[in-house]
Amino acid sequence: MSTASVTSTISTHVLDTALGCPARQLRVTLALLEPDGSFRAVAEGLTDADGRISEWRGQQPRPEPLAAGAYRLTFDTGAYLAATGRPAFYPRVDVIFTVEEPPRHHHIPLLLSPFGYSTYRGT
């Protein structure tokens, strides 16, 4: 089995629901939960013009297959909202999720506004 066929991928899509458009240039960090309970950053990225991250710095050019376990996406919502001249009641959003089937793709969208957010498992 080739590495490409077992490599799980993680992507995200951030929509600014207050403005009704993609959240561009929002920094996101991907971290892995270590056995000691701490999180270790493994990759980071900035959302593109469509509010998406599908390629992460730190996983390129050859991503390592993701191991089963808990991961965290940290969205720097404070900097994004400040750059758009709005208050940030939630300056950071941490989304912790479990990878149980490493070969599968994991899409974690975030719907964002200055005073709220929502997330779900996407496809």
31-64: pLDDT as tens digits: 999 999 999 999 999 999 999 997 888 754 444 6
Provide the domain limits for residue 33: 3-119
CATH code at position 10: 2.60.40.180
What single-letter amino acid sits at 27?
Answer: R
> Which residue carries 């920094």 as its tokens?
27
The predicted pLDDT at position 56 comes to 87
How many domains does the chain divide into?
1
What letter represents residue 113's amino acid? S
Q: Does residue 5 carry a pLDDT above 80?
A: no
Q: Which two tokens stand for residue 78?
A: 């404070």
The upper half-sphere exposure of residue 103, i.e. CA atoms within 13 Å in the direction of its Cβ, equals 6
More confident residue, 7 or 119: 119
pTM, two decimal places: 0.88
> How far is 63 from 66, CA to CA, in rounded Å?
8
How far are the Cα atoms of 2, 11, 18, 21, 120 from residue 66, in angstroms, in the given order?
Answer: 14, 13, 34, 31, 20
Model confidence over 60-118: pLDDT tens digits? Answer: 444 466 788 999 999 999 999 999 999 999 999 999 999 988 778 899 999 999 999 99
Amino acid, single-letter form, for residue 2: S
